[in-house]
Structure 1
Amino acid sequence: MKKDITQKALFYFMQYGFKSFTMDDLANNLGISKKSLYEQFSSKSELVEATLDYALEMSCHQVDKFVLGEGSVIENVFRNQKEVQNLFNLISTKPIWELKKYFPKTYERMEIEFTKSDALFIDKLLEKGWQEGLFRKNINVSFYKVFYSSVQRLRTFSDTFDEREFPFWDTIYTLMEYFFRIIVNEKGLQELENVLKKVKSQ
Structure 2
Amino acid sequence: MHTFALYLSEMRDVIIEKASKLFLQLGFKSVTMDDLAVSLGISKKTLYIHFENKYELVKEVTFTIFEKVIGDIIQFKNEAENPIEELYCVKMEAMKYLGNEKTSPNYQLQKYYPDVYQNLRKKEYQYLGKFVQSSLQNGIDSGIFRSEIDVNFVSRLYLNGMLGIRDIEIFPIEEYKIEDLFENYLDYHLRAIVTKKGLKTLTQFKSIS
For the criterion TM > 0.5, the same-fold answer is: yes
Question: Aligned runs of 1:1-202 on 2, under 5 Å?
Answer: 1-60=11-70, 64-86=74-96, 88=97, 90-92=98-100, 94=102, 95-199=105-209
Separation in 2, partners of 1:70, 1:98: 32
Question: Structure with the greater relative contact order (CA < 8 A, sep ≥ 6): 1 or 2?
Answer: 1
Separation in 2, partners of 1:157, 1:121: 22
Question: Matched residue pairs, number?
Answer: 197
Any stretches of 5+ residues in structure 2 without a counterpart?
1-10
Per-residue CA distance 1:83-135 (angstroms, 9 max, x = gap): 4434x3x3237433432454343222212111222321221111221232210
CA RMSD in angstroms comes to 2.5
Secondary structure at the counterpart of residue 79 of structure 2: coil
Read off the aligned partner of 2:39 and give its amino acid letter: N
Relative distance call for 1:80 and 1:140 in structure 2 (3 A) is closer
Per-residue CA distance 1:41-99 (angstroms, 9 max, x = gap): 2211221121122123112466543433142221233234324434x3x3237433432
Contact (CA 8 Å) 2:12, 2:50: kept in 1 or not?
Answer: yes
Contact (CA 8 Å) 2:73, 2:90: kept in 1 or not?
Answer: no
* Structure 1 match to 2:6: none
Read off the aligned partner of 2:89 and give its amino acid letter: R
After TM superposition, the score normalised by the length of structure 2 is: 0.79
Any stretches of 5+ residues in structure 1 without a counterpart?
none
Larger radius of gyration: 2
After TM superposition, the score normalised by the length of structure 1 is: 0.81
Read off the aligned partner of 1:113 and give its amino acid letter: K
Q: CA deviation at 1:173?
A: 2.5
Read off the aligned partner of 2:123 and give its amino acid letter: E
Separation in 1, partners of 2:170, 2:202: 26
Contact (CA 8 Å) 1:73, 1:129: kept in 2 or not?
Answer: yes
